[in-house]
């Protein structure tokens, strides 16, 4: 049975899909163009029709049809799947628990509500531009510095100060009162309060900011009160289209700029966002409601790893900033990074532990850069942007790193000359310093703290080491490939869980074992032998990880999800690993809840792959998983090697050639390291 993913890939050509957004020109058997993921003048972005893959040799992004759509549109796998399935005309079932009939009905309702929102938007916009009633709000817009181009670009509107102007207009267009209420544009009249029965407008006497989803469809509205109206900001209520906690205002207009600037600036209000765009900081979005949520960050992390918070400078703003930081820290992926254990750590409580060379400690690091915009005291972003644009641009380009921000915030109100104040400052700031992954930076901040509270740096250093050792992750000590590891693994080579791990050409050797799967796989178009065999190892590795998620710890230092050749296995690894790294306990939930239903057949296949082999004990599992991961990495490097050689032959530019040669050298080095490590292991 061919999977949905394979069906989609068979129907949509990667060259055509990428060709929609990148101007591609033929280059030998490949196509090349300017990379959409980084700025460049000479093309280093290649699409390979044969393997249906793409790669940029400038910024090292690469993958298949799905990863392109995910990266380019900033979508989660599930949404990319929906998008591509719709395009390919392949029905795809979503495991949200609804039957197909219910699904059809909900999407019909949503479609109707979108149309309704579209009609409301036009009406609001026309009101602002032409209505006599809107004279006051037009003055307000002007006074806030919003240009008429911006009014049009953001389709700003006006809800007049009348009870049912919009409602009766929409009813006149044929919408029912029920639909108006469902869309959050009208409210039902309470009997006896305002007349009897019927509906009245939800937004009255407000400047209207239409809120769009990432596909630029209007899903709700925000209304700013004019004069002293309360509340100051009123947003659409929760509707089938509008989920307040997950939408970011102006994200549809900011998306490309965020990717280009490699930064997103988050402001608090609609006006701040609109003004920021007007003055050229187009990577700006606003959170709707006051809190930044995990869902906001989930959307942003696909676009950039640099989040800059520019929330209002008042006390509420400070709380919101802290909250935003915590959500961002929680939501961004964590990478577990191997850090060599220095001799200072091996000596613990005077007891000298004999630790072999090359033993490392695994540390958790947040895969993001979070910082805070520093604005002149007491000024809101829109004022700064308008009155002192240079100050704004400088602040955007040089935001305050999170750690520096904490240095200020966490020591506010402490008397750093008093012993108590010093101890408290150290207690509050050491955990912050401990989060820094870069050792040089970490030492620099340690020095800064030492100077700040005039304390001996070595003392603080010891305290920090002590603290880090106490953490959960630091107790995980693992042997890493190369110099260590073999000491435990045994050199007798009697227990190879997988045959021929050490052979320089494992693909050839593994074929016997892969035979029967290969027979099935070869029916799938375009899959050559090598890939089929590789996919088999991917299934096996996923099977092992499903059986024992703890194995993630042992493979995540070797591979990342980009090393997988299968779209399904790649996404499964991504899900398993990121869930494991974030919160290993949630993997006790049934996998069916974590994984899109389109991937469940792969899970079953992966489980079978493990069950068909003889059962392994803990150490055997680790060894098998590490070997699988190493095979995948090696195979990926071989693929990269082939591509680099090809591109090198096609390239005329000397500087580019040089760059490619360096990459090739690096690939060869990595291959040699893997080969010598697997040789020792075998
Ligand atoms: Zn690139």
In this prediction, residue 485 carries a pLDDT of 31
More confident residue, 650 or 501: 650
Q: What is the average pLDDT across 172-180?
A: 92
In this prediction, residue 405 carries a pLDDT of 84
In this prediction, residue 55 carries a pLDDT of 95
CA of 647 to the centre of ligand 1 (A): 14
Q: What is the average pLDDT across 357-384?
A: 71
**Per-residue pLDDT for 159 more than 90?**
yes
CA of 104 to the centre of ligand 1 (A): 39
Q: What are 526-540's pLDDT values in tens digits?
A: 446 667 778 889 999
Task: Using alpha carbons only, give the angle 412, 413, 415 rounded to the nearest 5 degrees.
Answer: 110
- CA–CA distance, 363 with 437 (Å, rounded to integer): 8
DSSP string across 117-129 = HHHHHHHHHHHHH
Q: What are 642-676's pLDDT values in tens digits?
A: 999 989 988 888 888 898 999 999 999 999 888 88
Q: What is the average pLDDT across 499-514?
A: 32
Q: What is the average pLDDT across 600-624?
A: 89
CA of 653 to the centre of ligand 1 (A): 17
In this prediction, residue 432 carries a pLDDT of 82
CA of 642 to the centre of ligand 1 (A): 19
Q: What is the average pLDDT across 543-562?
A: 88
In this prediction, residue 252 carries a pLDDT of 93
Cα 155 versus chain centre, distance: 29
More confident residue, 393 or 507: 393
Burial class (CB in 10 A: 0-12, 13-18, 19+), 624: buried
In this prediction, residue 239 carries a pLDDT of 84
Q: What are 577-597's pLDDT values in tens digits?
A: 887 877 666 666 677 777 888
CA of 535 to the centre of ligand 1 (A): 26
- Residue 529 contacts by C-beta under 8 Å, 6 or more apart in sequence? 511, 518, 522
Task: Using alpha carbons only, give the angle 591, 597, 600 rounded to the nearest 5 degrees.
Answer: 60
CA of 55 to the centre of ligand 1 (A): 8
**Per-residue pLDDT for 506 more than 60?**
no
Pairing of strands 284-287, 248-249: antiparallel
Percentage with pLDDT > 70 across the chain: 79
CA of 630 to the centre of ligand 1 (A): 26
CA of 456 to the centre of ligand 1 (A): 46
Pairing of strands 400-401, 369-372: antiparallel
CA of 34 to the centre of ligand 1 (A): 8
More confident residue, 263 or 682: 263
CA of 651 to the centre of ligand 1 (A): 16
CA of 22 to the centre of ligand 1 (A): 12
CA of 534 to the centre of ligand 1 (A): 26
Q: What are 183-200's pLDDT values in tens digits?
A: 999 988 865 555 556 889
CA of 61 to the centre of ligand 1 (A): 6
Q: What is the average pLDDT across 247-261?
A: 93
CA of 259 to the centre of ligand 1 (A): 11
Using pLDDT thresholds of 50, 70 and 90, give the confidence band for residue 501. Answer: very low
CA of 56 to the centre of ligand 1 (A): 5
In this prediction, residue 598 carries a pLDDT of 86
In this prediction, residue 251 carries a pLDDT of 94
Q: Which three-class secondary structure state does DSSP give residue 589?
A: coil
Closest C-alpha to 20, from 91, 87, 76: 87
Using pLDDT thresholds of 50, 70 and 90, give the confidence band for residue 608. Answer: very high
CA of 24 to the centre of ligand 1 (A): 14
CA of 635 to the centre of ligand 1 (A): 22
**Per-residue pLDDT for 347 more than 50?**
no
Closest C-alpha to 474, from 618, 561, 363: 363
Task: Answer yes or no: are the C-beta atoms of 299 and 273 closer than 8 Å.
Answer: no
In this prediction, residue 345 carries a pLDDT of 37
CA of 37 to the centre of ligand 1 (A): 5
CA of 306 to the centre of ligand 1 (A): 18
Q: What are 67-84's pLDDT values in tens digits?
A: 999 888 777 888 889 889
In this prediction, residue 475 carries a pLDDT of 27
Mean of pLDDT over the chain: 80
- CA–CA distance, 26 with 336 (Å, rounded to integer): 40
Task: Answer yes or no: are the C-beta atoms of 128 and 156 closer than 8 Å.
Answer: yes
CA of 212 to the centre of ligand 1 (A): 29
In this prediction, residue 114 carries a pLDDT of 92
In this prediction, residue 523 carries a pLDDT of 38
In this prediction, residue 99 carries a pLDDT of 56
In this prediction, residue 116 carries a pLDDT of 96
**Per-residue pLDDT for 504 more than 50?**
no
Q: What is the average pLDDT across 478-483?
A: 26
In this prediction, residue 79 carries a pLDDT of 83
Q: What are the Cα distances from residue 472, in Å, to 218, 404, 427?
A: 45, 26, 19
More confident residue, 416 or 295: 416
CA of 45 to the centre of ligand 1 (A): 6
**Per-residue pLDDT for 171 more than 80?**
yes
Helix 654-681 vs helix 618-650: angle between axes, to the nearest 10 degrees?
160
CA of 43 to the centre of ligand 1 (A): 9
Using pLDDT thresholds of 50, 70 and 90, give the confidence band for residue 336. Answer: low
Q: What are the Cα distances from residue 250, in Å, to 83, 214, 222, 283, 466?
A: 21, 9, 12, 9, 45
DSSP string across 283-300 = TEEEESSS---HHHHHHH
CA of 26 to the centre of ligand 1 (A): 18
Task: Answer yes or no: are the C-beta atoms of 372 and 400 closer than 8 Å.
Answer: yes
Using pLDDT thresholds of 50, 70 and 90, give the confidence band for residue 54. Answer: very high
CA of 62 to the centre of ligand 1 (A): 9
CA of 619 to the centre of ligand 1 (A): 40
More confident residue, 524 or 400: 400
**Per-residue pLDDT for 299 more than 60?**
yes
Q: What is the average pLDDT across 134-154?
A: 95
CA of 328 to the centre of ligand 1 (A): 26
**Per-residue pLDDT for 518 more than 80?**
no
pTM of the model: 0.56
């Amino acid at each position: 049975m061919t999977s949905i993913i394979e069906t989609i890939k068979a129907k949509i050509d990667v060259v055509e899909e990428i060709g929609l957004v990148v101007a591609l020109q033929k280059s030998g058997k490949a196509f090349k163009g300017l990379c959409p993921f980084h700025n460049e003048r000479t093309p280093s972005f290649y699409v390979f029709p044969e393997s249906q893959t793409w790669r940029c040799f400038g910024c090292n992004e690469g993958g298949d049809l799905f990863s392109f759509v995910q990266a380019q549109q900033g979508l989660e796998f599930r949404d990319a799947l929906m998008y591509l399935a719709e395009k390919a005309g392949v029905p795809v079932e979503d495991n949200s628990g609804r039957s197909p009939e219910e699904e059809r009905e909900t999407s019909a309702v949503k479609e109707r509500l979108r149309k309704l929102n579209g009609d409301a938007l036009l009406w609001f916009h026309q009101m602002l531009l032409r209505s006599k009633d809107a004279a006051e709000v037009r003055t307000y817009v002007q006074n806030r510095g919003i240009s008429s181009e911006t009014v049009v670009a953001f389709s700003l509107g006006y809800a007049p100060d009348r009870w049912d102007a919009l409602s009766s207009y929409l009813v006149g267009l044929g919408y029912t009162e029920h639909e108006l209420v469902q869309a959050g544009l009208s409210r039902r009249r309470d009997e006896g309060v305002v007349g009897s029965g019927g509906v009245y407008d939800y937004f009255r006497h407000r400047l209207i900011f239409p809120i769009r989803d990432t596909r630029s469809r209007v899903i709700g509205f925000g209304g700013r009160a004019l004069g002293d109206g309360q509340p100051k900001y009123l947003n659409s209520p929760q509707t089938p289209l509008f989920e307040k906690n997950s939408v970011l205002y102006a994200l549809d207009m900011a998306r490309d700029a965020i990717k280009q600037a490699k930064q997103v600036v988050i402001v608090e209000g609609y006006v701040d966002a609109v003004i920021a765009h007007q003055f050229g900081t187009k990577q700006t979005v606003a959170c709707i409601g006051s809190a930044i949520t995990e869902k906001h960050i989930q959307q942003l992390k696909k676009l950039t790893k640099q989040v800059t918070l520019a929330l209002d400078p008042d006390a509420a703003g400070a709380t919101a900033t802290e909250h935003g930081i915590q959500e961002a820290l929680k939501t961004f992926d964590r990478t577990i990074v191997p850090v060599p254990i220095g001799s200072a750590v091996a000596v613990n409580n005077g007891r000298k532990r004999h630790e072999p060379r090359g033993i490392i400690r695994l540390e958790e690091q947040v895969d993001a850069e979070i910082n805070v915009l520093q604005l002149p005291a007491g000024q809101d972003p829109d004022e700064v942007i308008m009155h002192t644009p240079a100050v704004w641009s400088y602040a955007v380009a040089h935001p305050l790193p999170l750690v520096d921000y904490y240095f200020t915030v966490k020591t506010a109100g402490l008397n750093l000359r008093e012993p108590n104040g010093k101890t408290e400052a150290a207690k509050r700031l050491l955990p912050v310093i401990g989060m820094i992954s870069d050792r040089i930076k970490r030492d620099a901040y340690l020095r800064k703290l030492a100077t700040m509270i005039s304390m001996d740096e070595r003392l603080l250093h010891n305290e920090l080491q002590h603290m880090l050792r106490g953490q959960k992750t630091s107790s995980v000590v693992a042997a890493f490939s190369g110099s260590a590891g073999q000491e435990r693994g045994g050199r007798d080579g009697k227990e190879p869980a997988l045959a021929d791990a050490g052979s320089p050409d494992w693909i050839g050797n593994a074929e016997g074992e892969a035979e029967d799967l290969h027979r099935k796989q070869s029916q799938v178009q375009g899959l050559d032998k090598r890939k089929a065999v590789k996919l088999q190892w991917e299934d096996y590795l996923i099977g092992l990880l499903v059986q024992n998620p703890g194995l993630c710890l042992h493979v995540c230092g070797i591979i990342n999800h980009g090393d997988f050749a299968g779209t399904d296995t790649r996404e499964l690894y991504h899900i398993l690993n990121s869930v494991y790294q974030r919160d290993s306990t949630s993997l006790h939930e049934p996998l069916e809840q974590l994984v899109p239903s389109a991937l469940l057949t792969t899970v079953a296949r992966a489980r079978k792959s493990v069950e068909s082999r003889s059962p392994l004990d803990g150490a055997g599992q680790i060894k098998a998983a590490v070997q699988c991961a190493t095979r995948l990495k090696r195979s990926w490097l071989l693929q990269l090697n082939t591509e680099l050689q090809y591109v090198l032959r096609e390239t005329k530019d000397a500087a580019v050639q040089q760059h490619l040669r360096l990459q090739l050298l690096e690939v060869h080095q990595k291959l040699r390291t893997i080969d010598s490590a697997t040789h020792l292991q075998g």
